[in-house]
Amino acid sequence: MRAAIETALTTLFVPGQNDRVVPPATFTAHLTAFTSVVMAFLSVFALSLSLATGRLAHRWSQELAQTSTIRISAPSDQIELQIQAVEYVLSTTPGVRSAHVLTEQEQRQLLEPWFGSDLPLDGLPFPRLVEVVEERRGIDADGLRQRLAAEAPGAILDDHTRWRRPLVQAADRVRGLGIVSLLLIVAATAAMITLAAQAALAANSRVIGVLRLIGAQDTYIARAFVRRLTLRTLAGATVGTAGGMAAVALLPEMDAAGSFLTGLGFQGWHWAWPLLVPPVAALTAFVATRSAALRMLKGY
């Protein structure tokens, strides 16, 4: 393994005499560089999308997962009794960090965005709400529901699962889509570089023939092509990555509401992730070119 890595590094970074046996830049070489620029640019966007949706899924799952709401609906002469019963149940429920019964004023503020501030709520039979903040380990929602049913029949626990699950699923799927996109980009890059390598080898069939006739081994010939195409891919991917990072940096910052479309950029150490794109592209080119070259050379 170590020998293989040393061989690969030597092939790439130690200029050899075999560098010059391949004629200077050809059309396929320029095409390889252009392809690398485009693929790296797209990779940075796919990475950005994947990381942003990952953050979103994490935020939704974490924030909503730590809270629950208990809704108490009861005749006005029983409502206070049921609130007390709920408070008692919550105080003896493992995993509950705090419970807060929303005041009528707080509930009014919650409804204001929909009904306005001048709506007469006093005569309406609105349920009372209890906001429950859970400890990190969470609560046994089914157990709590059973106890509430026994102690306060008008209380209904909403642990937000109904809301949270589809949001987290959607975010997870978008993240998965981003990862699949990245894999597809890597595969497409490998395919294009393989084609470019085959085209370069075919265009230089005479060179290969001459080299074989004077005693060149396949690895010697392959190395000349591998080094050239790999370094070209590395250079192209570096340019594409720099362009992609610049474009992502120009995206709007995430606003206070945490809108998805304004939170697509990289954050914090996530800016390091795109730096992996050039070496991964170069590694892909190295493997693709070497295997294509050694396969084709068997025909000479």
Q: Given phi > 0 = left and psi -120 to 50 = alpha, else beta, which region is 258?
A: left
CB of 20 to another protein, least distance (A): 7
Distances (CA, A) of 218 to 15, 17, 19, 181, 227: 18, 15, 15, 35, 14
Residue 295 binds another protein (CB under 8 A): no
Residue 216 binds another protein (CB under 8 A): yes
Site residues (CB under 8 A) for another protein, limited to 173-212: 207, 209-212
Query: 123 vs 299, which CB is nearer to another protein?
Result: 299
Residue 220 binds another protein (CB under 8 A): yes
Residue 215 binds another protein (CB under 8 A): yes
CB of 216 to another protein, least distance (A): 4
- Among 16, 13, 1, which Cα is nearest to 219's? 16
Residue 82 binds another protein (CB under 8 A): no
Using DSSP's 3-state secondary structure scheme, residue 133 falls into strand
Residue 299 carries which DSSP code?
A: T
Residue type, 97: R
CB of 220 to another protein, least distance (A): 6
Longest dimension (CA), the chain: 104
Using DSSP's 3-state secondary structure scheme, residue 113 falls into helix
Phi, psi of 78 (to 5 degrees): -110, -10
CB of 259 to another protein, least distance (A): 57
Among 10, 20, 109, 184, binds another protein (CB under 8 A): 20
Residue 7 binds another protein (CB under 8 A): no
Residue 137 binds another protein (CB under 8 A): no
C-beta of residue 241 within 8 angstroms of C-beta of residue 44: yes
Residue 218 binds another protein (CB under 8 A): yes
Residue 26 binds another protein (CB under 8 A): no
Distances (CA, A) of 148 to 42, 134, 281: 53, 17, 58
Query: 53 vs 204, which CB is nearer to another protein?
Result: 204
User: What span, in angstroms and rounded, lies between the C-alpha atoms of 108 and 121?
Assistant: 8
Query: 195 vs 203, which CB is nearer to another protein?
Result: 203
Site residues (CB under 8 A) for another protein, limited to 37-76: none
Contact residues for another protein, defined by CB under 8 A: 17-18, 20-21, 23-24, 207, 209-218, 220, 298
